Amino acid sequence: MTLDQALSDVRASLRDVAPAEIADVLVAHQRDLVDSADPAKFAAVGATVGGFTLPDADGTAVSLDDLTADGPAVLVFYRGQWCPYCNLTLRAYQAELVPELGKHGARLAAVSPQLPDGSVAVKESNELGFPVLSDVGNTVARSLGLTFTVAEDVRPTMAKIGADLTKHNGEWELAHPAVLVVDRDHVIRFADVHPDYTTRTEPAQILEALKSL
């Protein structure tokens, strides 16, 4: 089963179990994110990622230089531990990507704006063996053009389903899910951004990008 197929199953399941008044708001929000996204603002292949240092789930400081010390870095931007699509994707990357990274001297790191406690929950519940970094305030994601602010009329519905971002992130700004492959000079060699947060980059696409370097 591909990641897309697994995500499709989650979409169908959530539609079946969510009350109509919640599902309608979330579907409209999903559509609005796609319609309002401006791909021209997203960091693209050839752009340089500014250096950064972020805390891992265990408090260890991890820099972009650390991640690219031996080869390229795969930076995975995700929404948070409250997002079922994110958890499924990170588990798929752990299972399908991590065993292959050594062949390319590559390291993977997941990045979200959630507070450190959320990063701990993501790493432990999904049994992840790669850094799970907290970009509180979206400093890194914003520099890459990935951020947006959740519309006020959507916030009460998100809070009802356990996604009150004032508690998880401290604010209502999120990053679009994205995967960037960054070389040792911090130049983006592959970029895939998903304004539709129910879709994600397939592991095979990431491996192909690494093979082409």
- Judge whether 113 and 80 are in contact, CB under 8 Å: yes
Nearest alpha carbon to residue 96 among 14, 210, 193, 11: 210
pLDDT recorded at residue 16: 82
Complete DSSP assignment for 3-23 = HHHHHHHHHHHHHHHS-HHHH
Residue 96 tokens read as: 């399908």
Q: Rounded to two decimals, what is the model's pTM?
A: 0.96
Check: CB of residue 193 under 8 Å from CB of residue 39. yes
CB 78 within 8 A of CB 159: no
Amino acid at 123: K
**Which pLDDT does position 189 carry in this prediction?**
98
Domains defined for the chain, CATH in brackets: 3-211 (3.40.30.10)
* Tens-digit pLDDT string for the chain (213 aa): 899 999 999 999 887 888 989 999 999 999 999 999 999 999 999 999 999 999 999 999 999 999 999 999 999 999 999 999 999 999 999 999 999 999 999 999 999 999 999 999 999 999 999 999 999 999 999 999 999 999 999 999 999 999 999 999 999 999 999 999 999 999 999 999 999 999 999 999 999 999 999
CB contact at 8 A, 150 and 172: yes
β-pairing verdict for 132-134 and 147-149: unpaired
Q: Looking at residue 15, what is its pLDDT? A: 79
Tell me the residue type at 67.
L
The secondary structure of the chain in percent helix, strand, coil, rounded to multiples of 5, reads: 45, 20, 40
The full DSSP string for 86-147 is HHHHHHHHHHHTHHHHGGGT-EEEEEESS-HHHHHHHHHHTT--S-EEE-TT-HHHHHTT-E
